[in-house]
Structure 1
């Protein structure tokens, strides 16, 4: 993959660094710049990579440049590096709301890729979606997919789908945490101690998710496998349907999607 540089050394950047240092990219080929010197020292000591307060030392030599700054700092950071990166350098942006159009205005000849990751990236279980700009070919897309997949899973989508991705996988961890908390409350109400209830709830959701991903079976099929006639599970499912849990989750995704569209217009 060659050299990878990061503008911004926050949690998302660190998650990717932690993943790619496991064999994908040599530590001496990873560069991170952050405006806090202390943060640079932390990342350097933790991962054995190059860090600096500014990006001058690496911005012109990396093969992939990851923009991992906050949206309000993006314009300034991009202005400082545009025109200094190589024509073949892949620009990978995880800046929320930053469109391919804006990115390609700053990087008119480089392959530009917009990414929407989510917070489980930090534990190697992220779900990232990416959209490619006009100069990003199959090789660039594959490079980005490999990079992101090192910390979870990644899929390519049209940029028009990015708001839906934000509403589903971007905001989705919050829905899952709410479900874990609610299931744990149910366990406590049924007599379990809180730590045990949380562990049971969290591992159950993790296991169900793994089954869906690994088997490739439709969730309805997997649900039927655990739902015996006149059994305990159908009793619980019936209550969930009565309380509109399915509809609430659908509406949550749609509401978050609409909010993402609104924010994108500002």
Structure 2
């Protein structure tokens, strides 16, 4: 039997979640946007197995106000909001069965990963939730919420870090005389190949395989090190983690 899923917020991550659910084939989905009538939204929420809050953390109160009086006691309330704690969600909603999950945009294309933590679920309910999330994306349950904040900084925000590097490489390719289409193909296929190679490989060893001594790759990597690339990445991830913790307060 299909799970009945209501998604509150139909922005980037709400749509990504809907695509992942459709791909899984294990859910009937109703998306609630700003223009959805309150009566229709309430009716769908009441009969849902899972109600997913997919808004920005700044809109948490408004979104939860919209659902809290319509949740069945057995409905699992799922939040994919960055930095909003289980305790805060429980206080705002008055609901007991809650999942806090941090996926990333990759789930919209059948990739990506999520981490999650539950509150108020018994063993059977936790197993049901695990099966539900397994159909959507690769995932693992974490022991505490700080791990969700840390994962937010690494994998939740992570796709944007790769896109920034890709965009910088795209600009560099164009500056070397390639057309926009040629640059896009060169960068896109390179990223795709690197992801495939890296999935089961050791990153440090793969770097060595590409960077022959005295060659072009070694020259580029030396420049990265001189400009403090690794420290910059580490610092950026830590700032993202600190921001996630600030939002949790």
TM-score normalised by length of structure 2:
0.84
Contact 1:90 1:140 survives alignment (8 Å)? no
CA pair 82-209 structure 1, distance change in 2 beyond 3 A:
same
Contact 1:113 1:136 survives alignment (8 Å)? no
Show structure 1 runs of 5+ residues with no match: 41-51
Contact 2:68 2:95 survives alignment (8 Å)? no
Residue 34 of structure 1, CA deviation: 1.8
Contact 2:50 2:78 survives alignment (8 Å)? yes
CA pair 64-250 structure 1, distance change in 2 beyond 3 A:
same
Q: Find the counterpart in structure 1 of residue 33 from structure 2.
A: 34
Q: 1: CA distance between counterparts of 2:99 and 2:243?
A: 22
1:135 counterpart SS class: coil
Contact 1:118 1:128 survives alignment (8 Å)? yes
Show structure 2 runs of 5+ residues with no match: none
CA pair 242-69 structure 1, distance change in 2 beyond 3 A:
closer
Q: 2: CA distance between counterparts of 1:195 and 1:180?
A: 14
Which of 72, 85, 104 is the equivalent residue of 1:118?
Answer: 104
Q: Find the counterpart in structure 2 of residue 47 from structure 1.
A: none
Q: Find the counterpart in structure 1 of residue 213 from structure 2.
A: 229
Residue 141 of structure 1, CA deviation: 4.0
Q: Find the counterpart in structure 2 of residue 46 from structure 1.
A: none
Q: 2: CA distance between counterparts of 1:16 and 1:210?
A: 24
Residue 113 of structure 1, CA deviation: 0.9
2:42 counterpart SS class: coil
Q: 2: CA distance between counterparts of 1:224 and 1:141?
A: 42
Segment drifting more, 187-196 vs 93-102: 187-196
Q: Find the counterpart in structure 1 of residue 193 from structure 2.
A: 207
CA distances 1:46-102 after superposition (whole Å, capped 9, x unpaired):
xxxxxx874222212111111123334332332343253233322111123221112
1:56 counterpart SS class: helix
Contact 2:8 2:31 survives alignment (8 Å)? yes
Contact 1:93 1:113 survives alignment (8 Å)? yes
Q: Find the counterpart in structure 1 of residue 14 from structure 2.
A: 13
CA distances 1:113-150 after superposition (whole Å, capped 9, x unpaired):
1122333444443433222224264414413422431x
Q: Which has the higher contact order (CA 8 A, sep 6+)?
A: 2
Q: 2: CA distance between counterparts of 1:184 and 1:70?
A: 30
Q: 2: CA distance between counterparts of 1:221 and 1:35?
A: 49
Q: How does 1:63-74 map to 2 (within 5 A)?
A: 63-74=49-60
Contact 1:100 1:133 survives alignment (8 Å)? yes
Q: Find the counterpart in structure 1 of residue 164 from structure 2.
A: 178
Q: 2: CA distance between counterparts of 1:99 and 1:248?
A: 28
Q: 2: CA distance between counterparts of 1:233 and 1:143?
A: 44
CA pair 136-16 structure 1, distance change in 2 beyond 3 A:
farther
TM-score normalised by length of structure 1:
0.79
Which of 139, 142, 159 is the equivalent residue of 1:154?
Answer: 139
